[in-house]
Structure 1
Amino acid sequence: MENAMLERIRTLAVEMKPGMLDLAQRIIRCPSLTGEEKGVADILLDELNKLGYDDVFRDDWGNVVGIVHGTDAGPTIMYNGHMDHVDIGAVSEWLGYDPYGGAIDVDEIYNEAGTELEKTEVIHGRAAADTKCGIACQVYSGAILAQLKKEGFNVKGNYMVSFVVMEEPAEQIGMIGLYEDTLPKKGLKVDVVVSCEATSLKIYCGHRGRVELNVEVSGVTSHGSAPWLGVNAVLKATKLIEKVEGKYATDYKVDEKLGKSSIALTVISCSPGAMCVVPDRCNIIYDRRLVPTETPEDAIREIQDIIDKLSAEDHDFRATVKVSAVPRTTYTGKTVTLPNIKEGWRIGEDHPFVVAASNALRNIGEPVAYGYWDFGTDLAMICGRHHIAAIGYSPMQEYYCHRPVDKCRIDFMERALVGNISIFTELTKLSEDDFKL
């Protein structure tokens, strides 16, 4: 990047900081639980239009897209975040902050390495760390590029922002709708993706996959006064739970960067669930995390093997396993049912795309470090399923996601505002071959 252009970017970043923070506060103050993202979408559409994006639209799924077209031909770099968030939980746990307040003050928060607490200016509120502060940065990075064009600077390639619905439930409905439906219909191609999921200004290069498994153990009802006349599904389920825990205590795959595969029992329920009735159904939900060499089919087969062995030992034991899938309705009225699956993925730190992003940060004096998410993101669909190169880069920190201390450092937002542009500028220098996985 030319010195004059970088100097102008830094000046514009200072000038646009108040607008970026104002946008972050406004979207934090607008609740947007999954399926209820319309208010935030409306704010973002209005902001993108005001800031001079060349193309701005809402698709049939409720996703918001904005594009700044470069003065010169080049690749399209998509910057992405999600508009929905998890429930706020108990307000009493928020240490006096309004979960939808968007308050700005000086507070303790972890440093970039996540090793020590320090006091600095932060913005509070649900989704500050997941992903509304990152969205505000991405929007205003594009605004700086739009302004540079107006001032006669050459901008190569296309800067696209996409803010999707329904990320939190994990079926990736918004991203699937955007990438597999909307973009092809509009004739838009995306070359690579930069996610604003929390990375603490590091470059994130992957995460484990996830499949939600639904196990139903069957029994026979009877009166609670005569349990021997029935088959208690909950008691039968305890056998399966014990076997599953025993298996995965020692039998798991390991990825050198992403860590080990895992399984967690997250929900258990029984029916009829009535007084004096032995339950004939017990449903168990397992959260199974997969390294990239594993598939959802592997996860199902492993549980099925345990079911088959228990059935052979106990003729009263009956159970089934399947991938969870429930209907979801977007705020635009589209109802779909998709399996709850996220693919695992990892891109090499030596991949040309990652190297270019790293050099971009070095070029503006930023330190370079790499990381991998503990949780899953919509990049599972982009990189894991469609093999489009992707990374994460944002000012938020994983530690604060989904917690009642949800907040983001403002100094990190300022740095990400320039970092996004530097990464974009460096990536647009690459060839199509450099983006291949």
Structure 2
Amino acid sequence: MPNISPTEAASLVPLLQTFVRFPSQQTDLQESDPEVQAFIRECAAPKLKALGLEIEFDEMGNVIAAIGPADTGRSLMFVGYAMTHPAARMQNPFTAELIDTPRGQAVRGRGVAEQKTALTAAIGAIEQALAHGQLQGRLIFTLLTAGETGRHDALASVMKRLPAPPQYAVVCIGTDSKVAIGNKGRIDFDVIVAGKTSHSSVPWEGINAIAGACRVITQFESLDLGVPEHPAFGPATLTPTAVSSSPRATHTVPDTVRVTYDRRLLPGEEPQEALSAIQEALHIPEPWKAAFELGPVMYPNELSTDSPFFKHLDQAYRQVTGQEAPSFYCNFALDAGYFSRDGIPAVMLGPGEVHQFHSSEEHVLVEDLVKISKVYYALIEECLSGPSA
């Protein structure tokens, strides 16, 4: 891609800086956090209104906008995210300073590698589409209160409000500026091991739930998940991510231990089937008892490079860069799987480098911001102008 001109970056960079300077960090309140809600209503929504878009809010605070005729059978949806990872140990995370790097100018700040640069690029593309007009299909944009929650609740809320599902969908998140044609899904679940409490001076009077939990962990370490390996992802995985016991009291044998697991789903797997197989495989002896509790779920996704949607994406890249669309399989999960489960071809795509997610140093190249905004716009033209596919 040739060097970008100052004019090309003139509107996008200040918009990105505005977004970064309005913190919208994840907290225990998740989608209902006031900071996240305020980012949408007070920072992003006014930008959409300024473009002349009519917007609406759903019951979760997600904003939805749509333009173009709805009766052509052609539609494209962009999904952006408001919530970012907490600032954590990142210094000056919300100043959005423009910095020089060996690869060119960049904007530094929390969320630029994940959510906020892709959001900026999408709004820039929509602005360009509005300026050119003549859309021959429906262009839908939503900004979700999600971004770090690990569940589909926010998108599901939006989809219930749409008169019809989109033909294609782009999940706007940092993907190294490549098309994520596949991603693993995920179920989180807890195994709750029950015992009997007693004073630790007489442990034989109790049933130590920690000992029972150790048996669960040992069994699951060697558990065959019964799923064929995926050509790109390899085997399905089952990983313990947290352990807690109760009651938390001195000199007390605990009667409950909760072990949290992350089961990554390969394309084609169903969450409930995966959980049921694990439940059936666990054999915990008396005197312990074990129960399962399902947590957040995200569905896997896979798009063929021979599909019409990928061909549109490839053509969009060729128009902007002169090269074919780069694609890859992504290990992390987001909302693309929600679409594909309903038969809607979807990808994840955005500026921002995956290895910087949640790091103490996050920056995005201005060149990548401009490039992907152009790709987004070229995709709009591909899907909503010219011959249908």
The answer as to whether partners of 1:77 and 1:424 remain within 8 angstroms in 2 is yes
Q: Distance in 2 between matches of 1:168 and 1:253?
A: 29
> SS where residue 222 of structure 2 aligns?
helix
Aligned to 2:125: 141
Deviation at 1:366, TM superposition (A): 4.0
Counterpart of 1:304? 279
Structure 1 counterpart of 2:366: 410
Kindly state the Cα deviation for residue 364 of structure 1 after the two structures are TM-superposed: 2.7
1:213-259 per-position Cα deviation (integer Å, ceiling 9, x unaligned) = 110001111111011111110111011101111225x8653211333
What is residue 79 of structure 1 aligned with on the other side?
78
3-state secondary structure, aligned to 1:254? coil
Of 101, 125, 143, which residue of structure 2 is paired with 1:163? 143
Q: Which residue of 1 aligns with 2:55?
A: 56
Could you tell me which runs of 5 or more consecutive residues in structure 2 were left unpaired when the two chains were aligned: none
1:247 pairs, out of 220, 223, 247, with 223
Residues of 2 paired with 1:362 and 1:254: CA distance? 33
Residue 252 of structure 2 aligns with which residue?
Answer: 277
- 1:287 alignment partner, SS class: strand
Q: How does 1:94-105 map to 2 (within 5 A)?
A: 94=90, 97-105=91-99
Distance 1:14 1:427 in 2: 29
2:105 is matched with which residue? 121
Unaligned ranges ≥5, structure 1: 1-9, 108-117, 325-339
Counterpart residue identity of residue 156, structure 1:
Q
Question: In the alignment, residue 357 of structure 2 is paired with which amino acid?
Answer: C
Q: Tell me what 1:382 maps to.
A: 339
For 1:52, give the aligned amino acid.
Answer: G
Cα distance, 1:209 vs structure 2: 1.1
Contact 1:271–1:280, Cα closer than 8 Å, also in 2: yes
* Partner Cα separation in structure 1 for residue 131 and residue 385 of structure 2: 21
Q: Deviations over 1:145-188 (max 9, x none)?
A: 11123xxxx33323222111124222211101001x221xxx35
Of the structure 1 ranges 222-231 and 79-88, higher mean CA displacement relative to structure 2 is found in: 79-88
Call closer, same or farther: CA 1:303–1:135 in 2, change over 3 Å.
same
1:30 equivalent in structure 2: 22
1:134-283 → structure 2 map (5 Å cutoff): 134-149=118-133, 154-179=134-159, 181-183=160-162, 187-247=163-223, 253-283=228-258
Match of 1:111 in 2: none
Alignment of 1:353-364 (within 5 A): 353-364=309-320
Per the alignment, residue 321 of structure 1 pairs with: 292
Question: Using a 3 Å threshold, how does the CA distance of structure 1 residues 274 and 430 change in structure 2: closer, same or farther?
Answer: farther
Secondary structure of the residue aligned to 2:321 is coil
Question: 2 CA distance for matches of 1:128 and 1:366?
Answer: 26
Residue aligned with 2:253, SS? coil
How far did residue 371 of structure 1 move? 1.0
Which moved further from structure 2: 421-430 or 79-88? 421-430
Q: 2:330 aligns with which of 373, 392, 395?
A: 373
In structure 1, the residue corresponding to 2:148 is in which secondary structure?
coil
CA RMSD of aligned residues (A): 2.4
Structure 2 CA distance for aligned equivalents of residues 390 and 364 of structure 1: 20
Q: % of aligned pairs identical?
A: 21
Judged with a 3 Å threshold, the aligned counterparts in structure 2 of structure 1 residues 84 and 366 are, in CA distance, closer, same or farther, namely farther
CA contact (8 A) 1:74 1:428 kept: no
Would you identify which runs of 4 or more consecutive aligned residues in structure 1 move more than 6 Å?
A: none
**1:95-122: CA deviations, max 9, x gaps?**
xx31222122013xxxxxxxxxx43211
